[in-house]
Amino acid sequence: MGKITISALDRMKSAGEKIAVITSYDASFTRQIEQAGIDVILVGDSLGMVIQGHESTLPVTVGDMVYHTANVMRVSEHAMVIADMPFMSHGTPEQALDTAGRLMKEGGAHMVKIEGGAPQLETVRHLTARAVPVCGHLGLMPQSIHQLGAYRVQGRGEHERERMLKDAVGLQQAGAQMLVLECVPAMLAAEITKALDIPVIGIGAGADTDGQVLVLYDMLGVTMQGTPSFVRDFLVETGNVQDALIAYVKAVKERTFPAAEHTFT
Ligand code: KIV
Name the closest-CA residue to atom 5, ligand 1.
44
**24, 84, 209, 219, best to mutate for ligand 1 pocket (most atoms within 8 Å of CB):** 84
- The reply to whether ligand 1 has any atom less than 6 angstroms from the CB of 213 is yes
Q: Which CATH class is domain 6-258?
A: alpha beta
Give residue 226's pLDDT band: very low, low, confident or very high (50, 70, 90): confident
Name the closest-CA residue to atom 1, ligand 1.
44
Give the DSSP per-residue string, the chain: -----HHHHHHHHHHTPPEEEEE--SHHHHHHHHHTT-SEEEE-TTHHHHTT--SSSTT--HHHHHHHHHHHHTT--SSEEEEE--TTS-SSHHHHHHHHHHHHHTS--SEEEEE-SGGGHHHHHHHHTTT--EEEEEES-GGGHHHHSS------SHHHHHHHHHHHHHHHHHT--EEEEES--HHHHHHHHHH-SS-EEEESS-S-SSEEEE-HHHHTT--SS---TT---HHHHHSSHHHHHHHHHHHHHTT-SS-GGG---
Task: List pLDDT tens digits, range 175-185.
Answer: 999 999 999 99
Q: Residue 225: is its pLDDT beyond 90?
A: no
Name the closest-CA residue to atom 8, ligand 1.
44
Domain ranges, ordered by start, for the chain: 6-258
Task: List pLDDT tens digits, range 117-160.
Answer: 999 999 999 999 999 999 999 999 999 999 999 999 999 999 99
Q: Residue 206: is its pLDDT beyond 80?
A: yes
Catalytic member of 77, 182, 191, 261: 182
55 is known as an active-site residue = no
* Mean pLDDT, range 196-217, rounded to an integer: 98
pTM to 2 decimal places: 0.98
Task: List pLDDT tens digits, range 240-251.
Answer: 999 999 999 999
- The reply to whether ligand 1 has any atom less than 6 angstroms from the CB of 182 is yes
